[in-house]
Chain A
């Protein structure tokens, strides 16, 4: 057998093996996600604003009203003990920074938009990285078979 032929066999075997591994992954994901409904509210994101000054009832009412009037905003919640405002929105329609700028920063109340650091995101309650290759493949297969 010539060297050329041997190389050919090796390449075909390797390609075939990779293809089979991928096919196994697809079958594995398909079996796991079959019958499992899609997550609800998949694109609903949550954001936080920390106020560095006390808000009176009128200021709070105005901010809540303004924020809820913005496109994509679903709900908001203010904790008077921690002076933290939480809002949820659909990330296909708006983003946390824009909402903060339009509804809060413009009010001239001293506040900061809280964004967790990468170290903080490495800790705490685990969440699958749905934007990874595996996450995207799982979503794609789930969308086909469910």
Chain B
């Protein structure tokens, strides 16, 4: 046994070294953390954060302000993100009831065993990440690039050979549903307009 360990030890050590090196350098390209990171923000992100907190006092700085997460007891969330997630949550409900768009999101309705993570919660999170990145400039979205995700040739789950990309009418309907969600939550029209303008800016990546 002693001899066995002695003969395989250098090999094991080499494998450990290689795997450690591979893990640290290739698969997990995580950016080095700034000791005191300053979160990026914009006037629109601050306005959304200010709005979700009751629209009192000055607007500046409210986007990145950490507040209690009502859906995640004991956790904090940026006020701007909470506002966006609230709109996205409502938008997902509207999209799920919209026969033009719900064909693109069947995973929303997938039923999982009690206690397990649902497709709805995952979409809520990634959709929120995407909008948060567009609004605040913080790099939080980790999903596929929009063009790749909305082209059948590069992402087979999207559409089919006859409908390889989404059309303009679908995209307009999507903007409409998000707008309807924001309006139902009494988001001021000017803020909804800015949000819509931002989303329309990625239209070229989705409809092409």
Kindly supply a per-residue 1/0 record for chain B positions 2-42, scoring 1 wherever the CB is within 8 Å of any chain A CB and 0 otherwise. 00100110011001100110110001101001000000000
Q: Which residue of B lies closest to A25 (CB)?
A: B23
**Interface SS of B by simple majority:** helix
A92 to B113, CA, bound (A): 9
Least Cβ distance of B111 to chain A in Å?
6
Please state if B157 and A79 are interface contacts (CB–CB under 8 Å): no
Query: With contacts A24-B22, A86-B96 known, is A48 near B113, CB below 8 A?
Result: no
A117 to B49, CA, bound (A): 39
Please state if B99 and A91 are interface contacts (CB–CB under 8 Å): no
Interface footprint category on B: 35 or more
Q: Which residue of A lies closest to B127 (CB)?
A: A125
Please state if A48 and B96 are interface contacts (CB–CB under 8 Å): yes
Q: Is B92 an interface residue (CB 8 A)?
A: yes
Please state if A127 and B122 are interface contacts (CB–CB under 8 Å): yes
Q: For residue B188, which residues in chain A have a CB less than 8 angstroms away from its CB?
A: none
Task: Select which of A9, A95, A121 is within 8 A of B106 by beta carbon.
Answer: A121
Task: Select which of A17, A77, A82, A91 is within 8 A of B116 by beta carbon.
Answer: A91
Within 8 A of B (CB), among A39-97: 39-48, 75, 77-79, 82, 84-86, 88, 91-92, 95-96
Within 8 A of A (CB), among B86-105: 90, 92-94, 96-99, 102-105
Please state if A40 and B125 are interface contacts (CB–CB under 8 Å): yes
Task: Select which of A8, A82, A84, A124 is within 8 A of B157 by beta carbon.
Answer: A124
A121 to B20, CA, bound (A): 37
Least Cβ distance of A120 to chain B in Å?
4
Task: Select which of B103, B106, B115, B124 is within 8 A of A41 by beta carbon.
Answer: B124
Q: For residue A82, which residues in chain B have a CB less than 8 angstroms away from its CB?
A: 97-99
Q: Which residue of B lies closest to A79 (CB)?
A: B97
Count, chain A residues at interface, CB 8 A: 57
A44 to B69, CA, bound (A): 15
Query: With contacts A48-B97, A124-B103 known, is A28 near B114, CB below 8 A?
Result: no
Q: Is B171 an interface residue (CB 8 A)?
A: no
Please state if A17 and B112 are interface contacts (CB–CB under 8 Å): no
Q: Which residue of A lies closest to B181 (CB)?
A: A77
Please state if A8 and B4 are interface contacts (CB–CB under 8 Å): yes
A66 to B199, CA, bound (A): 36
15 more contacts with CB within 8 A, not counting A5-B4, A41-B121, are A13-B11, A20-B12, A31-B30, A40-B121, A46-B92, A85-B97, A91-B115, A116-B106, A122-B157, A124-B105, A124-B158, A125-B107, A125-B108, A126-B149, A130-B122
A-B contact pairs, 7 of them (CB 8 A): A20-B15, A44-B118, A88-B93, A116-B107, A124-B104, A125-B104, A131-B113
The 5 closest A-B pairs by CB, nearest first: A79-B97, A130-B117, A120-B106, A40-B72, A84-B97
Q: B interface vs A, CB < 8 Å?
A: 4, 7-8, 11-12, 15-16, 19-20, 22-23, 27-28, 30, 33, 69, 71-72, 75, 77, 85, 90, 92-94, 96-99, 102-125, 144, 149, 155, 157-158, 160
